[in-house]
Amino acid sequence: MPGLTIDLNIYADEEALIEALQRGDKYACACMIKHHGSQVYAVALRIVGDPDEAEEVVQEAFISACGKMGSFEGRSKLSTWLYRITTNAALMRLRKRREDTVSLDEPQVMDEGDLLPRQLGDWSVEPGQQALSSELRQVMERAVQELPPSLRVAFVLRDVQGLSTQEAAEALDITETALKVRLHRARLQLRERLAGYLVEQSEEVAA
């Protein structure tokens, strides 16, 4: 399989890479893809939930990033800036799909009762990679896709990609408090959805 034949060490640090990107250096652009491409792809895939659409989002994001490098002010990390461009492109894609008729920009207004835990059975699963059967992974991926987009992006950045609260909030251009509210709602909804599967699994093990 062909791959990138670039030396990531040519730039001493991120600052040097950004300077080269701002000069329009094509090698720097390829280097940025080598360094951040998989993270950008992972975010796009988990937001749009479809590999073909994720690829289009990634292309849009890097075309935009390479074209707008001059406007990058360096106030955030390069990766955070890329995540912002990618989540915007992915959310735009969801808008085009017309999956949602409400704004994607603000958290969905929920009745307080919607957040109350209903599934109260215990789970025997011990989290870790060994716990992730392909069936459980499918349940987990589907559950993420069922989240409202505004909650999905917060959850994907913070809990799947592992960004800090500050980085995820910067990437979404929202406050850390707003990020935490969205994250909490996402986790509660995911817990309910996983419970439907994991409580049943636990009961089968106990039987």
Partner 1 sequence: MTERNHKHGECRELLKDLSDYVDGDLDETLCIEIEHHMAECDNCRVVVDTLRKTVLLYHALPPESMPGEVETRLLKCLELSEYLSVQ
Does residue number 68 form part of the binding site for partner 1 (CB under 8 A)? no
Spatial contact of 72 and 23, defined as CB atoms under 8 Å apart: no
Q: Which of 108, 87, 105, 104 is nearest to 168 (CA)?
A: 87
Q: How far is CA 84 from the centre of its chain?
A: 10
Taking CB under 8 A as the rule, which mask of x and - marks residues 80-109 in contact with partner 1? ------------------------------
Identify which range of 1-9, 10-18, 85-93, 95-103 contacts partner 1 by CB under 8 A.
Answer: 1-9
Rounded CA-CA distance 62/120 in Å is: 44
Taking the CA atoms of residue 124, residue 127, residue 129 and residue 131 in that order, the dihedral angle to the nearest 10 degrees is 10
Does residue number 194 form part of the binding site for partner 1 (CB under 8 A)? yes
Closest approach of Cβ 40 to partner 1, in Å? 8
Taking CB under 8 A as the rule, which mask of x and - marks residues 2-31 in contact with partner 1? xxxxx-------------------xx-xx-
Does residue number 163 form part of the binding site for partner 1 (CB under 8 A)? no
Does residue number 184 form part of the binding site for partner 1 (CB under 8 A)? yes
Grouping H, G, I as helix, E, B as strand and the rest as coil, residue 167 is helix
Does residue number 137 form part of the binding site for partner 1 (CB under 8 A)? yes
> What backbone torsions phi and psi does residue 108 show, to the nearest 5 degrees?
-65, 135
Does residue number 159 form part of the binding site for partner 1 (CB under 8 A)? yes
Q: Which of 193, 93, 206, 184 is nearest to 138 (CA)?
A: 193
Alpha helices per DSSP H over 49-175? 51-67, 78-97, 134-145, 149-155, 165-172
Work out which of 111, 117, 204, 207 binds partner 1, going by CB under 8 A.
Answer: 117
Does residue number 72 form part of the binding site for partner 1 (CB under 8 A)? no
Beta carbons within 10 angstroms of residue 131's beta carbon: 13
- Interacting residues with partner 1 (CB under 8 A): 1-6, 26-27, 29-30, 33, 37-38, 40-42, 45-46, 55, 58-59, 62-63, 66, 112-113, 115-123, 125, 127-129, 131-132, 136-137, 140, 155, 159-160, 162, 165, 180, 183-184, 187-188, 190-191, 194-195, 198
